[in-house]
Amino acid sequence: MSARFKRTVLLPLFCLLSGAIATLALAADEVNIYSARKEDLIKPLLDDFSKQTGITVNLVTDKEETLLQRLQSEGANTPADLMLTTDAGRLAAAKKAGVLQALKSETLAAKIPAAYRDPEGYWYGLSVRARPIIYAKDRVQPADLSTYDALADAKWKGKVCVRSSDSIYNQSLVAGMISHHGEAKTEAWVKGLVANFARPPKGGDRDQIKAVAAGECDVALANTYYLGGMSNSSDDAEKQAAAKVAVFWPDAKTTGVHVNVSGAGITAHARNRDHAIKLLEFMAGDAAQRWYAETNNEYPVNPAIPPSATLKAWGEFKADTLNVAKLGELNAAAVQLMDRAGWK
């Protein structure tokens, strides 16, 4: 076979194969997520997205620290397109580690208030979590409660339950206090709060609620979606415990109730960036936001979507307007302060 013939035949063949490979690549419509949220709290949304778009969603779930370390070690070779996690502090840590990329989206900007997203677009909140005071109905009157600060008063000595300082939710609460009141005043508050603990911190938020119901303490700090889950649980013991407590919204006359977000950001080396953006916008959409409210007992980040009946039953509240990105910025200061104050 002559060299000319080889070039004549092989060149069209090469072009044909290249086109076929490109077609296969485009046909592999997928998006890969690293999620710190449990599968049952996110998978139904992802399945709906796949049904509507034809884009396959591959989900990997693990603890926040593990996923962040994995993204860092994988670098440019990571398969992850989207990182989904449970707290603004975690999102800020991912941004600081350089594993996220900035994104500007008119859709996300329209649906997600500025206070619930990174000012530079590295991550966006997808659901809002409030952390109010949970109190025993039979031992505490709402008139006895007022602010987070007041939980450090001597009258609450031996009556406060809260999880450990390792909890990112408590770290973010303290970070918010630092932002509003400064370190000195916040440290004095934390010392007073620690002095009022009914027991050494242990367990999760559900355990604090159960402790109040059981009479081990009179008040606790907990995210409301845990109480919502207990109120709607198939476990009679959890439902009974939830029925013995109520929600008090602190700081109504000042800064408002501490709130946080679950949220997500596009990874720095996303290979399916367009699909990841489409998924992020889908999760900020009306249907997904209703699902967050009805199924997860979280407040929709989109203010146009009403809360569920369970959430409405607790009444309206004034939410802190502090940009939640500040919670991540002040995380290190909060952790150091809690350590100094003896919050184990």
Binding-site residues for Fe cation, please?
225-226
Percent of residues in the chain assigned helix, strand, coil, to nearest 5? 50, 15, 35
List the binding residues. 225-226
Cα distances from 253 to residues 1, 127, 317, in angstroms, run 89, 24, 11
Amino acid at 206: R
Lay out the sheet containing 245-248: strands in order across: 160-161, 219-221, 133-136, 245-248
Cβ contacts of 82 within 8 Å, gap of 6 or more: 31, 32, 33, 34, 264, 265, 266, 267, 270, 276, 279, 280
CA distance 131 to 298: 11
DSSP assigned state of 323: -
CA distance 275 to 255: 38
Amino acid at 123: W
CA distance 111 to 106: 9
